[in-house]
Amino acid sequence: MRYSVEHKAQSQERILDAARELFRARGFDGASIDQVMAAAGLTRGAFYAHFDSKADLVRQVLAIEAGLVHTLRRTTEAKDPQAAALATLTDYLDPSQRANNATGCPLVAHPVDAIRGDADRGNGYTEQLKALIASVDAIIDGDDTSQDAAILVSVLTVGGALLSAASTDRHLADGIEAVCLDRIAAIVGHPVGG
């Protein structure tokens, strides 16, 4: 039976959505093709109509723009882009978002996969990180040091989210996020809540 192009595209989207969720929760090596296809509600045999291999699936998952990057890109259209960006980063580093960041943001969920994986995984993660830095740089651009500042904001954001999610001590986790957010606000030039 031949399926329409639209049906195939919808199936591929279901597979990518299922893979993104499973990979973030279990890592790239912790989720099998069978598990991804079951989560997508499809058979394993359908997998190869969409992807050449699991590595191909991982590459395509890593190519999907992170939600944080997408949201930060939109802040450039705001009346006050820096305040809008700081509000986005404040929400991102809010303790109520800790579990969501750990399993929802590829920048937090996949650094170890990138370190331990092959070059494609490292390159895919690096592209996500570069996109984050570029989106922050577009917001705080003003002089020759803005890329350094954008790197620092990106490190504080992802590092703060990663370390707070990894900590079992809630007080420490809250402190990590608060300190990171305070430094981010100083760099972006807007006080938190101001």
Nearest CA-CA partner of 44 in 55, 35, 52, 31:
35
Which tens digits make up the pLDDT trace of 108-146?
989 999 999 889 899 999 999 999 999 999 888 655 668
Mean pLDDT of the chain: 89
CA distances from 31 to 24, 38, 53, 154 (A): 9, 11, 14, 28
User: What six digits make up the tokens of 55?
Assistant: 């590595």
User: What six digits make up the tokens of 50?
Assistant: 């969409």
Concatenate the DSSP letters of all residues of 28-96 into one string: TTTS-HHHHHHHHT--HHHHTTT-SSHHHHHHHHHTSPPHHHHHHHHHTTSSSHHHHHHHHHHHHTSGG
What ranges in 95-145 are assigned the alpha helix state H? 98-104, 106-109, 111-116, 119-140
Distance CA 20, CA 116 (A): 18
CA triple 159-162-164, angle to 5 deg: 100
Q: What is the pLDDT of residue 194?
A: 46
Residue 43's contacts (CB-CB under 8 Å, 6 or more residues apart) are: 37
Residue 98's contacts (CB-CB under 8 Å, 6 or more residues apart) are: 161, 164, 165, 173, 177
The alpha carbon of residue 14 and the mean position of all alpha carbons in its chain are separated, in whole angstroms, by: 19
Domains and CATH numbers, the chain: 5-62 (1.10.10.60), 67-188 (1.10.357.10)
**What is the rounded average pLDDT of the residues 86-99?**
93
Task: State yes or no: pLDDT of 157 exceeds 70.
Answer: yes
Q: End-to-end CA distance of the chain: give it in Å, rounded.
A: 60
Tokens 């790239």 identify what position? 28
Give residue 87's pLDDT band: very low, low, confident or very high (50, 70, 90): very high
